[in-house]
Structure 1
Amino acid sequence: MSSEVYDCIVIGAGIQGSCTAYHLAQKNQKTLLLEQFVLPHSRGSSHGQTRIIRKAYDEDFYIRMMEESYELWAQLEREAGVKLFSRTGLLVMGPEDGKKFQLLKASLQRNKVPSTVLERHEFSQHIPNVNLAAGDGALVDTTAGVLYADRALRAAQMVFQAHGGVIKDGQKVVNVQPGTVVTVTTGSDVYTARSVVITAGPWANTVLSHTGLELPLRVVKVNVCYWKEKVPGTYSISRHFPCFIQLNPKEAEHDIYGLPSNEYPGLMKVCYHMGSVTDPDERDRQPDRVEVVGRYIRRCFPGLVPEPAVVEGCLYTGTPDRNFVLDRHPTFRNIVIGAGFSGHGFKFGPVVGKVLCELAMGQVPSYDLSPFSIQRFQDHQKSAL
């Protein structure tokens, strides 16, 4: 058993845990970051080279958090000396009269997010090699772009260590014993801390079970698909092709999103924003479901071969309302939880890390966290009775 008592132990070294640890170390908190797998790994939700970063949300609270998240990503870029972001814009397409498209459009205008509405007659001039579906509107969040995910994760961990933080990987947590000092037992050691932050992604409920808490989290495996450009460079980041989100595609009940070709030269990342329910420890046994995206590509992206060239896996851990969990444990106030990032949390990493750090240090959080409370699940259950 380690004799030293840490100020905080963070369980889970994905982007949320790594950013939390980074903020704690910046505040001179003696911090230990534990990870069950050997780093780097591709078993969870934070691997892969790219993610979309955007302010295009229909909830004001997400837009406000993203304002600061952009600033904090830029700060991490400067500290790490690594480029983490390329601005490409985000093209949003969807039924013009549909609720989702109208809510998003109104939200961008209300929050004064720099954006452009593309009229149908000018669409192909601005966005070549994309067929805008009949009845669809289009707008561009011009602040958006591509986050270099693997690079961002490494940067947060590197700066955390530069501030004196300790990372121990290959340390699967097997018990969390609450108390004034929390005891965290792994397969090979025992650690103690005045506070603990649990950011265990798909394994959140596994870790929380030791504290008598279960959250309504659903883990799904999503297929991350890359599609070959018929003419290399057609949809490339170097030609300033934007990221995109297709709301309410004709082919499916969930959105489809994509990023310009970058990490695999000549291949564009286009994915269905949903997957099959899975056990995170059995994820490799899940079947691949890519035909929905193939049908969409055949209709809307004529410059791509409609058969995936590469299919990788990623796990989403979702809540019923797709909002995060950022809260203290209802019984043990020195145990803090960040969970349920629902496939859209990576871009929030630095601001989520800041908030979880504040909770762990007993400070008043920078944001109203009521949309992210654990209590909302109990309230919903009561209202459903």
Structure 2
Amino acid sequence: MASSKAVYDVIVIGAGIEGSSSAYNLVKDGKKFPLPHTRGSSHGQSRITRYAYDFDFYVRMMVDAFPMWATLAQEAGEDFFLNAGVLDIRSSVQSANKVVRALSTYDIPHELLTAKELRKRFPALTLQDTDLGVYDPSGGILMADRALAAFQKVFKQLGGTLHDNEAVISVKPGSPAKVVTSRAVYAASSVVIAAGAWAGRFASALGLRLPLQPLYWSVKPGQEADHHWSNFPCFIDSRGEEMGGFHCYGLPCLEYPGLFKIAQLVVASLRGQEVAVPTNPDHRDRLDEDDAWVEEQVLKLVKRTFLGVEPKPAIKELCMYTNTPDSHPIIDRHPQHRNIIIAAGFSGHGFKLAPAVGKLITEMVSGKPLSYNVKSFSIGRFDSPAKL
């Protein structure tokens, strides 16, 4: 195995959206490094981006992320954002007001709409009269593959080196730290671990690996316009989660003609049993349990929420979900090895936040004042400290 004689400023493990954004921001900051690559959770055509959150620290990061996405699009000469808007559906005034307060903290335009107002504006919806929606007109769809490619394109234009198809075997703490791959041993002053579902191989206390199953539902003939992204927003359905159940999200017709996507995060309890399914990231298409009940749960959501939709999904896809016990990511230094930064557990939040995450990691590496309150992202919030 070859050994690199150079000591790089930074090595980023993982070239998904967080690793690529980190590398992009770091090379802009003047750092030199290779980028060993591992498959991530950033595949696919589309992701939701939004300001609408019920945690104000995410809204604060999105205040930076939106203009940073626009800067990247300009630098890469690539348009990857569709302003479809985002609707967060809630079942209680208290829950909806939490989102409203977070948005109001940063003067983000939004509307709080009743079920009657929602049905009038979006004819594809059928809701309970007690339901509410927080509408975020600035949100929409990020074309995921194109956005990821844009980060990597500009990164390479600025002199960064991407090492693709080079498996990372281990990370050895020290000064400098060393990254052992299938081809060489690299040394760097700092290492950033942003390896998605593979991060658990290099660091502990990163939480659960959870599957997310998107289902694409056919729109009935004549109903396509009501479900198209130009007339129907992305949506977050928080009603089930409010009652201790399932969290769902969806995107309007875009990826496949006449199909819109609904995805259900399998993190709750069903019939008193934990339903999170640990999944090997090297075999992401294999599920160890019968997943028919997932489809049943999403079907119930479709029936109670949408008009003009066929009763069965047309396409099923399995995505890798990497999360922590409290559903907030880890963005922190290793407690013993301060030149190793761990960025993992982003699923559900990470793609839209990526530019701000890259900015934060660059500040950590460079020793600059941090732009965001990182208390909710610390490793120390968990009972067991992380170890390599």
Q: Same fold (TM over 0.5)?
A: yes
SS at match of 1:56: coil
Equivalent of 2:245 in 233, 253, 256? 253
Asked if 1:78 corresponds to 2:78, the answer is no
| 8 Å contact from structure 1 (residues 199, 337) kept in 2 | yes
2: distance between equivalents of 1:161 and 1:243?
Answer: 32
CA 31–240 in structure 1, closer or farther in 2 if over 3 Å, else same: farther
Asked if 1:354 corresponds to 2:359, the answer is yes
In structure 1, give the amino acid aligned to 2:286: R
2: distance between equivalents of 1:310 and 1:240?
Answer: 22
| 8 Å contact from structure 1 (residues 48, 149) kept in 2 | yes
In structure 2, give the amino acid aligned to 1:219: R
Equivalent of 2:369 in 364, 368, 376? 364
| 8 Å contact from structure 1 (residues 87, 146) kept in 2 | yes
Q: Superposition pairs for residues 278-289 of structure 1, below 5 Å?
A: 278=278, 279-286=280-287, 287-288=290-291, 289=294
Task: Calculate the aligned-residue CA RMSD, in Å.
Answer: 2.0
Q: Superposition pairs for residues 315-326 of structure 1, below 5 Å?
A: 315-326=320-331
Equivalent of 1:159 in 147, 154, 160? 154
| 8 Å contact from structure 1 (residues 221, 277) kept in 2 | yes
Once the two structures are superposed, residues 32-65 of structure 1 have per-residue CA deviations (whole angstroms, 9 ceiling, x without a partner) of 111134xxxxxx3111111111111111111111
Q: Superposition pairs for residues 130-209 of structure 1, below 5 Å?
A: 130-208=125-203
Which residue of structure 1 aligns with residue 27 of structure 2? 25
1: distance between equivalents of 2:124 and 2:69?
Answer: 32
In structure 1, give the amino acid aligned to 2:28: Q
Once the two structures are superposed, residues 55-77 of structure 1 have per-residue CA deviations (whole angstroms, 9 ceiling, x without a partner) of 11111111111000001101101
Asked if 1:100 corresponds to 2:95, the answer is yes
**Residue ranges of structure 1 left out of the alignment (5+ in a row):** 38-43, 209-213
Which residue of structure 2 aligns with residue 215 of structure 1? 205
2: distance between equivalents of 1:339 and 1:194?
Answer: 20
| 8 Å contact from structure 1 (residues 249, 296) kept in 2 | no
Work out the number of aligned pairs and report it.
368
Which residue of structure 1 aligns with residue 51 of structure 2? 55
In structure 2, give the amino acid aligned to 1:355: L
- The CA deviation at 1:252 is 7.9
Once the two structures are superposed, residues 2-58 of structure 1 have per-residue CA deviations (whole angstroms, 9 ceiling, x without a partner) of 222211110000100000000111112112111134xxxxxx311111111111111
2: distance between equivalents of 1:69 and 1:156?
Answer: 13
Equivalent of 2:343 in 324, 332, 338? 338
2: distance between equivalents of 1:16 and 1:122?
Answer: 37
Asked if 1:264 corresponds to 2:256, the answer is yes
Asked if 1:295 corresponds to 2:297, the answer is no
TM-score by length of 2: 0.90
- The CA deviation at 1:216 is 4.1
Which residue of structure 1 aligns with residue 277 of structure 2? 277
In structure 2, give the amino acid aligned to 1:15: I
- The CA deviation at 1:122 is 2.9
CA 365–107 in structure 1, closer or farther in 2 if over 3 Å, else same: closer
- The CA deviation at 1:373 is 0.9
SS at match of 1:249: helix
2: distance between equivalents of 1:181 and 1:322?
Answer: 32
- The CA deviation at 1:121 is 3.4
1: distance between equivalents of 2:32 and 2:384?
Answer: 36
CA 57–82 in structure 1, closer or farther in 2 if over 3 Å, else same: same
Asked if 1:240 corresponds to 2:254, the answer is no
- The CA deviation at 1:304 is 1.4
193-202 or 290-299, larger mean C-alpha shift: 290-299
1: distance between equivalents of 2:244 and 2:190?
Answer: 44
- The CA deviation at 1:284 is 2.0
Q: Superposition pairs for residues 102-121 of structure 1, below 5 Å?
A: 102-121=97-116
SS at match of 1:19: helix
| 8 Å contact from structure 1 (residues 101, 247) kept in 2 | no
- The CA deviation at 1:362 is 2.5
1: distance between equivalents of 2:77 and 2:304?
Answer: 42
| 8 Å contact from structure 2 (residues 335, 385) kept in 1 | no
2: distance between equivalents of 1:204 and 1:310?
Answer: 29
| 8 Å contact from structure 1 (residues 295, 306) kept in 2 | no
